[in-house]
Structure 1
C-alpha cells in the first residue's frame, strides 16, 4: 500500500477511517450489551474523538496532503477546523451525559450518531470536489436528523426532526443542482479545475454559484434560509441543540469558506455580492428578531443566525485577513456557545429543565458563580471588550475595512450594538429581578465545561497569540 501523500494514498484519510471503524465497534458493543450501555458507549466515543484529534495533529505529515484524485485535502485549514469540530462533538457528548443516564429512555445510539456525524464533518472540511461535498454533507446531516427527533415521546422533538429533515433535503437538492450546473459549464467538479475554468463569470456558472450558496446557507442557518433554526433549536433535546450550535456550524463555515476562496477565486465580485447580502440580512435578523423571545433556546437560535452573519463579514473580504477572521470567529463562537448551553442545561428545578428567560430571575442570589460565568459569556457574545467575543468581531470587521467594505463593517457594528440589548436583558433578569426558586445541584461535567469556556472567554485577551497564529496559518493554506 502506497502511503505517500499523493495519488490514492490512505494516509491523509486515516483519522476518518479510525473514527468510522471505532463507531462501528461501539455500535456492536451497544447492540451486544444492550441499551443500558449508553453512558459507557458515550465515554468511549469521547475517548475516540480525542484519539482522532491527536492523530489529525500529530500523526499526519505537515504541509498539504492530497488524495483520491484531489477530492480529499488535508492542509492547515482542514487540520484546525477538524480539531475544532471534534472538540465541539466531544464537549456536547459530555453535556449529554444526563439524558444518556436516564433509565426511562436509554440511547446508546446517540454517541454513535454523533461520531458518524463528526466523520461527515471531517470529510466535508477536507472536500476538494463537489461530489465529496455532497457525500460529507449527507453523512453529517443524516445523523443530525435522527438526533433532533431522539426524544420520541416529545411532539416538539419529533416536529424538530421532521422540519430539519424536510428543509435539509431541500438544501441538498439545491447543492446537487448547483453542482450539476457548475459541472455543465466548467466540465469538472474539482475545485482546482473550476478555479481555472470559471474566470470569466459566465451566466451558467453564476447561476450555479447562486444555488450553491443558497444550499450552504441552509446548512449554516444564514438568512434567508434560516427558517428551520428557531423551531429545531427549541424542539430538539437541549444537548442536541448544543451540538447543532457548535460542531456542524464549524463544518458548514469551513466548506463555505473553502468553496468560495478555492473554487471561485476568479469571480470574487460575483459571490462577494451574495455573501455581503447574506451577512447583512443575518446580522440584522439575528439582532432584531431575538429581542422579543421568551424561550432561551429560541433566543440562542437567533443569536446563532446573527453570529453566522458576523463570520460571513470576514469571508466577504475574500482575502487572507478575511479568512483568518472567519477562523478566529468560529473558534471563539464555539467556546461561547458551549459555555452558554452548559448553563442552560444546568437550569433544572425538581429534576425538570426550565427554558424560559424568566426562570433565570435572581440567579445571582441563588447561584452566584453560575450567574457570573453566564453573564461573562453573554457579554462576550455581545462583543464587549476585553472578552473574547470582542476580538472575534474585531478581526472580521478589520478584514472588511481593509477590503474596502466600509458600509458592511458599519452595519455590523450597529447590529452588534442592537444585539447587545437582549444579552444584557438576560443579565438584568439574573441580577435585578426577584429570585425564582433555586435550581438543582449543578452536575460536575457542566461545571467543568462552564469553567473552561468562561475562563477562555475572560482571559483570551492576555495571550491570544496561539489561536491567532493557528488561524493565520489556516487561512494562508487556502491561498
Structure 2
C-alpha cells in the first residue's frame, strides 16, 4: 500500500549518495533518474496503493482519492524537474546541482504521506517533510538575493504555521483522546453542545484549519505567496503552484471530511469565509501587479478560493469537483509558468515584467496563443476547461443549498477576468517591447503545446473519463 512512498524515499536516498560522490557532473543523470523514480511511483499506484484500504492501524489510507491526488503530484513534480536544467543554465550559468531533484523527490514523498494520512501525526510528519524540502528549494539560488529572501520568508512564516497546526493537533488530541481520524470524527459527533469538550474540539478545529490554510495560501494566510513566488527560481515556483497546492488542498479535504465530518456546520463557515476572501482579494490585488510571477501568485490565491467552494459543499459531488478543478488548474498553471520560462531577452536573462509581453503576438505568435489560452482558461471563459472547472464547483455548491456562496463566487470571478484579459491585451494590442530570445527548447515547447491542447476544446475528450474517476475518488472518502 505504501509502495509509491517507498519508491520515492529509496530513490531519493540512493540519488543523494550518487550526488555526494558524483558532484555536479551527475546532475543530468540524477535529474532524469528522478523523473524515472516518479514514473515508477505513479505506476505503483495501479495496485493496492490506490485501493488497499487502511494500513498501519489506521495511520495510512490507500484509497482512490489519494491515488488521484498523487498522480497529479507526481506528474507536476516530474515536470518541475524536467524544466529546471534549461532555466538554471540560462539564468545561473549551469548552477543546477543534483540536490535539486533529490529535494523534489523528498517533497513528493512527504506530499504522498499528506494525502494518505489517516492520523494527525502522519499528517504532520508528511507536511514537515514536504515543507523542509520546500524551504531549501525556494532559496536554491544561493547567490540570488531574491531567492534567499524568498526562502527565509517561507521558512519563518512556515514555521509559524506549523506551530499553529501543531497546537491545534494537541487540542484535538487532548479532547478527543486519539489522533486517528476515525476516533476524532466520533469525538466530534459525541461532544454535547456547551460542554467543555465541545469548545475544546472547536478551538482545535480552528487552529488545525488555520495551519492548513497557510499551506494552501488562502486569505488571511496568503501573505507569503507573492514574495516567495517572485523570488524563488521559476521551476520551483511552478512546483509550489502545482504539486504543493494539490497536496495542501487534498489534505484539507481529507481532514474536513474524514476527521471533522460531524462538525461540518462549524468548519463550513471557515471554508466559506476563506473561499470568498481568497476569490476577492486574489482578484483585486492582482490588478496592480507588474510582475507576471506575482500576478500568477495572486491567481493561485484566487483559484484556491474557487476550489474551496467545492469543499464547502461537503458532499461527494463537492469533493469530486475539487479533484476535477485541481487537475485542470495544475495543467493551466504549469503551462503558464513554462511560458514565463520562455520570457528571456536577447542576452538570455529572464524577463518577468508583464509589459515585456507587449506585442508578443507579432514576435512569437505561437507562444502568445498558448499564453492566451492559459489566461482565458484561468479566467473561466468557455469553451476552455477552466470554465468547466468553475462550473463544477458552483454546481456542487448549488446542489448543497449554498446559493449565496455560488452567486457571490460567480460575481467575484468577473473581477478576476480583468487582469487575465489585461495580459492578453498587452500581447495582442500593445507595440512590441522586448525581443525574446529564440533558443530552441523542444522540452518546454512540447510541454506548452500539450498543456494548451489539454485545456482547449480538445481536452473535452477527457471530460467523461475524468468525471467518472473524480466521482469514484470522492466516494472513497465517504
Match of residue 471 from structure 2: 472
**CA distance in structure 1 between the aligned counterparts of 2:452 and 2:93, rounded to whole angstroms:** 31
2:60 to 65, 72, 93: 72
SS class of match (2:428): helix
Distance 2:141 2:430 in 1: 33
Q: What stretches of structure 1 of length at least 5 have no aligned partner?
A: 1-11
- Quote the Cα distance in structure 1 between the aligned partners of 2:30 and 2:49: 31
Deviations, residues 291-342 of structure 1 (Å, cap 9, x unaligned): 0000000000000000000000000001011001100011110000000001
State the TM-score, normalized to the length of structure 1: 0.96
Corresponding residue for residue 380 of structure 1: 377
Detail structure 1 runs of 4+ shifted over 6 Å in the superposition.
none
1:266-415 alignment to 2 at 5 Å?
266-349=262-345, 350-415=347-412
Q: Matches of 1:126 and 1:62 in 2, distance apart?
A: 10
* CA 1:61–1:177: 2 relative to 1, 3 Å: closer
Distance between the aligned counterparts of 2:474 and 2:448, measured in 1? 29
Match of 1:8 in 2: none
Shift of 1:435: 0.8
Question: Paired residue for 2:254, among 243, 254, 258?
Answer: 258
| Alignment check: 8 A CA contact 1:39 1:100 kept | no
How far is the alpha carbon of 1:31 from its aligned partner? Answer: 1.2
Aligned to 1:164: 154
Distance 2:312 2:473 in 1: 17
Assess if the C-alpha contact under 8 Å between 2:65 and 2:476 holds in 1. yes
Whether the 8 Å CA contact 2:218–2:274 is kept in 1: the answer is yes
Structure 2 equivalent of residue 431 of structure 1:
428
Match of 2:177 in 1: 187
Q: Which residue of 2 aligns with 1:6?
A: none
Q: Distance in 2 between matches of 1:92 and 1:386?
A: 28
Q: Could you give the per-residue CA deviations for residues 235-271 of structure 1, whole angstroms, max 9, x where no partner exists?
A: 1111111111000111000010000001111111100
| 8 Å CA contact 1:64, 1:76 repeated in 2 | no
Alignment partner, residue 24 of structure 2: 35
RMSD: 1.1
Match of 1:5 in 2: none
Aligned to 1:66, the other structure's residue is in SS state strand
Where does residue 437 of structure 2 map in the other structure? 440
Alpha carbons 1:310, 1:412 under 8 Å: kept? yes
Matched residues in 1 for 2:269 and 2:49: separation?
38
Aligned length: 467
